[in-house]
Structure 1
């Protein structure tokens, strides 16, 4: 009987293994919105590979500084599958991050679908992330040429602590990593969270919560 159970478990293991194919079954799958001009490859609609051109795999403009004249003093230029169709199914994307002098901030946020690796190419940044339970704050000051990794799904930020601008580039392990900015998501959604809930959660007076909601609503 024990031998039978072992063989059954072994068969199940092989069946699950054979049902999962983590590898790509083609060179690329350029995203396309009109299935009439597409090929159905590896379970997705893709541009016919024979019609792919260099423009499907290239993007220009990351040499241009982003506008940091906003309430947080930073700008993210994201190159994901929406602007570079050739990224489809490849599991990567890229971003340029610009920070204003004296406190330019990429506010606390998460990427629900991707780990981020950041390299500073100009300036000085204070960066950090918060682990899941138990919560720990892990941080470091980065200088030009330094690299830091923010694990998938964890709250993280970058803050310019110098008197000069800062620039960084980030790679993300998803073609569309997504972003949820903590302050905007909690205090500024289209359908605001009940102020009583937020007042109790953050141990704030209700009028402070309502002021924050109004501030972010009009941002």
Structure 2
């Protein structure tokens, strides 16, 4: 549905208000563009004979004294919801199911990021410990196949992979995720309470 125009006292504006039409809808009926109708309603342009004739098709259906049509029905009052009426259980259950999934996902992501932080710390420690041992292996390690150049190249690959791993959560990110999780858990509890049978 198109955008409604500003208030105007032109005949086209009266027709639009009476029949609850947008400028685009009335413009289509009378055979002009919506901008052209807007300019006509503001008094900057004339519609033209053909468009005026089309406008009169609807204008004659305005209520007296402007036309010969019926009065528009009185606007219906907004339906007032009964606060005592039970909520629609199916809608609440669907939302509850979705929220439970979000809670599980949020807990899992927080746990994974915590485990990831521990794993990254351990890998960084391992890289520091392994670097001097692989750069200058003891004689017995050389006999077993140690190759400092190759082993250090392998270690640099570990460093690259560790640095490319997803970052651990900052304190702010962790607080925001925990707040979201608490909000989800609170909504789950509220929906469970709303769906609980009255005892």
Range into which the TM-score falls when normalised by the shorter chain:
under 0.3
Identify the structure with the greater strand proportion: 1
Larger radius of gyration: 2
TM-score, normalised to structure 1, is 0.20
Greater RCO, 1 or 2 (C-alpha within 8 Å, sep 6+): 1
TM-score, normalised to structure 2, is 0.22
Identify the structure with the greater helix proportion: 2
